[in-house]
Structure 1
Amino acid sequence: MGHVSVSIDIAGLPPERIVFSISPLAELGVALHALAEPGHHPGLHGWATATAAGLKPDLADRLHEARFLWSTTFSDVFAPFAGVPGHDGSTGATLAEELDMLDRLSDERFVEAALELNCSANDGDGPADPGRALELAAVHGPKPLEFTRRLLDDPAPVRAWLRRLFEDCEQAFFAETWQRVRVQLAADARHKTDLLRRKGLAEALRAVSPALSLDESAGTITVDKLVEGRTTSVDPRVGAGLTLVPSSFGWPHLMVLHAPGWRPMIHYPIGAPELPGPASVELLKRRMEALAHPLRMRLCRNLARTAHSTSELADAHGITAPEVSRHLSVLKKAGLVTTRRRGRYVLHQLNVPVVARLGSDFLETVLR
């Protein structure tokens, strides 16, 4: 495995078009992810448990129906400010303002945003393939399949349904949550803006995350992730700009929006919880040896986000199913992967709490 990363071209970008800003809709997205995947967020168990317990059954059912928008990975529908042509790229002051921006996206752009990151095997590089989207949705159960089919067939009612869902989340729990975290997020954005003005972009990026680096001569920001991608902050189709958005719920995820025709956005976590202490030396050695193979590490990236079948992993990585099975067997013997059956599919998923014991460095790398 060669070095992989996401690069953002900023050559010719006016400095004032690099902004730190807070986004209620983007934060709602990671809050919903923390509810759906509490294992990814060791510091949020109390909040996730209390919030899930307080949801009315109808809202819980609707969240389950659409959960692949935020559990498998992070849909670009949570950052409409980056995708509205002619918009200046600024985030909204309220959730309602950002939902209005979401309504301004064309049906085609909305469907691509919802499906290309969540139903494709390639992390959103390239346009969504409806047939492939349906095929992958089927693996994850009847609800995601039905949701995907309705979105492809007639986007308008699904978009209205989704807006109501987000509004009901605000009423049920997010208004109170946002009121609590927005002060800290706004303070972080102000601090990073001040750093950018006083000490320059390289220093500001270092303060955001060690995974970000700047090559001033090439005019490129590089984000060290286990995914390849390239985007530009000076696309004339959408307008120049780069938005950096702090998140209280995001750790350990560092997300980069790099879809064609959208302004790039970096959604970065502030603060990290303490993780449990290490396992025994012998157990640690066995698990680290299981992870030493570069392809197994790439498989972990897929399995950290959602359950996958062997054939799905083989297709995603361009290798044979028996080869995938051999690597999964090593990971399972080390207790790093769990397996369950859903209908005719056998699904594998990373055992995130066990991996967390290997230390935040590995966990942050596969979840970034």
Structure 2
Amino acid sequence: MSLSIDIAGLRPERVAVVPSPLAELGMALHALSEPGHHPGLQGWVTGVTAGLDSHLADRMCEADFLWRTTFSDIFLPYAGIPGRSMLPGATLAEELDLLDKLTDEQFVDSALEFTCAPGYDVPSPSVLADPKLRRRAFELAATRGPRQVRFTQRLLDDPPRVRAWLRQFLEDCDEAFFADVWARVRLPLATDARYKTDLLRHKGLAEALASVSSAVTLDADAARITVDKLVQGRTTTGDGGLLLVPTSLGWPHLMVLHRYGWQPVLHYPVGSPELASPPSVAQLTLRMKALSHPVRMRICRLLARSAYTTTELAQVHGMTAPEISRHLAVLKKAGLLTTRRRGRYVLHQLDVTVVARLGSDFLEGMLR
């Protein structure tokens, strides 16, 4: 399984490596919402969480589906600007202005990426215009609690109001904690961007991509970039460009924006933290046996990003609920899942802290 980017006709000058403050803020919000994905950021997460104003913390939970899975494409708005060649802004304010340039349809579809994405990399109607997609958005929001139902309702009923709410929220996050983060990571990210730009100019795209991740390869003859991930998808640079955006907070996530009609973006981590110590041999044997099935591997990839019901997993994988339940039982017996009840829904999620103990290669494969 992999993601592919068709780069036929892509000119070298249309490939850019540029840090993005808004993307880094999105990753910061993700790390605060899912600290288990980022063992090396535990100290930072604890410090920021302890110092958050209670009102801001409550707002952060209100719309956390925008960044809990990884983060939605609204944090890469320049990719959606017509022409598919816009670069990230130098400041958060500049990028928030670019976010304002997205249409309501683009904004809403991007915001609902993880709860209602019928055709991410193919042409599809907007959830604002399609009653069936609107119902599905509410059904999936319901599995995540009444707060997300209320937010989805506001988003679909009055996108401009939610856009204004989000901009104010992100500006408040900047004041509360992100300005300090950006001051710390801006120069290292700029240094990494200069290094990869030099590779592009002097050694070519293949060398630059290899320095991003061993999971990214270039087939020059086929004019195709392939990203090794436990998901399938495709996109093309078309008459636009290709963006490489580094992140200091993102490991182990290697994100590929491949939304139809948007400029492709590789959002890649620079550096990686130390992981926890390995499990006992008995635990390792049990867990590796549980993960030896390809269907369970794919289930784990989804559950690493968000909580899902058995019914949702069955729909995604084209299987029956009993079949999914048997796979979940194996994973739960191995101690790899957490389960919680929310109303009439039972939600399952991968215990990323436990998975981290299996090794960085496996964790990176799950989360990239």
Match in the other structure for 1:76:
73
Match in the other structure for 1:41:
38
2:35/2:42 contact within 8 Å kept: yes
Match in the other structure for 2:187:
183
Asked whether 1:229 is paired with 2:233, we answer yes
Match in the other structure for 1:263:
263
2:73/2:111 contact within 8 Å kept: yes
Q: Which moved more, 1:72-81 or 1:13-22?
A: 72-81
Asked whether 1:51 is paired with 2:55, we answer no
Q: How does 1:135-284 map to 2 (within 5 A)?
A: 135-235=139-239, 240-284=240-284
Cα distance between partner residues in 1 of 2:152 and 2:69: 14
**Residue 88 of structure 1, CA deviation:** 3.5
Cα distance between partner residues in 1 of 2:170 and 2:305: 22
Cα distance between partner residues in 1 of 2:119 and 2:357: 27
Match in the other structure for 1:330:
330
What is the identity, as a one-letter code, of the residue corresponding to 2:289? Answer: E
Match in the other structure for 2:341:
341
Cα distance between partner residues in 2 of 1:271 and 1:150: 39
Q: Which moved more, 1:168-177 or 1:66-75?
A: 66-75
1:8/1:230 contact within 8 Å kept: yes
Cα distance between partner residues in 2 of 1:360 and 1:245: 22
Match in the other structure for 1:93:
90
2:120/2:260 contact within 8 Å kept: no
Q: Which moved more, 1:85-94 or 1:38-47?
A: 85-94
Cα distance between partner residues in 2 of 1:261 and 1:88: 12
Relative to structure 1, is the Cα distance of residues 121 and 296 closer, same or farther in structure 2, using a 3 angstrom cutoff? farther
1:73/1:118 contact within 8 Å kept: no
2:27/2:70 contact within 8 Å kept: no
Match in the other structure for 1:17:
14
Cα distance between partner residues in 2 of 1:226 and 1:362: 11
**Residue 172 of structure 1, CA deviation:** 0.5
Deviations 1:2-39 (A, max 9, x none): xx111011110110000100100000000000000000
**Residue 120 of structure 1, CA deviation:** 2.7
1:8/1:220 contact within 8 Å kept: yes
**Residue 299 of structure 1, CA deviation:** 0.4
Q: Secondary structure at the match of 2:19?
A: coil
1:250/1:269 contact within 8 Å kept: yes
Compute the RMSD of aligned alpha carbons. 1.2
**Residue 274 of structure 1, CA deviation:** 1.1
Q: Secondary structure at the match of 1:308?
A: coil
Asked whether 1:299 is paired with 2:303, we answer no
TM-score relative to the length of structure 1:
0.96
Deviations 1:127-176 (A, max 9, x none): 45222111111100111111111111110100000000000000111011
TM-score relative to the length of structure 2:
0.96
Match in the other structure for 1:110:
107
**Percent of aligned positions that are identical:** 66
**Residue 122 of structure 1, CA deviation:** 6.1
2:242/2:265 contact within 8 Å kept: yes
What is the identity, as a one-letter code, of the residue corresponding to 2:64? Answer: R
Cα distance between partner residues in 2 of 1:165 and 1:220: 39
1:89/1:243 contact within 8 Å kept: no
1:121/1:316 contact within 8 Å kept: no
Cα distance between partner residues in 1 of 2:119 and 2:47: 32
2:279/2:358 contact within 8 Å kept: yes
Cα distance between partner residues in 1 of 2:106 and 2:313: 27
Match in the other structure for 1:30:
27
1:340/1:347 contact within 8 Å kept: yes
Match in the other structure for 1:313:
313
Asked whether 1:353 is paired with 2:350, we answer no
- Stretches of structure 2 lacking an aligned partner (at least 5 in a row): 128-132
- Following TM superposition, where does structure 1 have runs of at least 4 consecutive aligned residues deviating by more than 3 angstroms? 121-128
Deviations 1:188-229 (A, max 9, x none): 000010111111111111110011000001100001111111
Relative to structure 1, is the Cα distance of residues 42 and 123 closer, same or farther in structure 2, using a 3 angstrom cutoff? farther
**Residue 72 of structure 1, CA deviation:** 2.4
Cα distance between partner residues in 2 of 1:27 and 1:110: 19
Deviations 1:70-91 (A, max 9, x none): 0023211000111111473211
Cα distance between partner residues in 2 of 1:7 and 1:223: 6
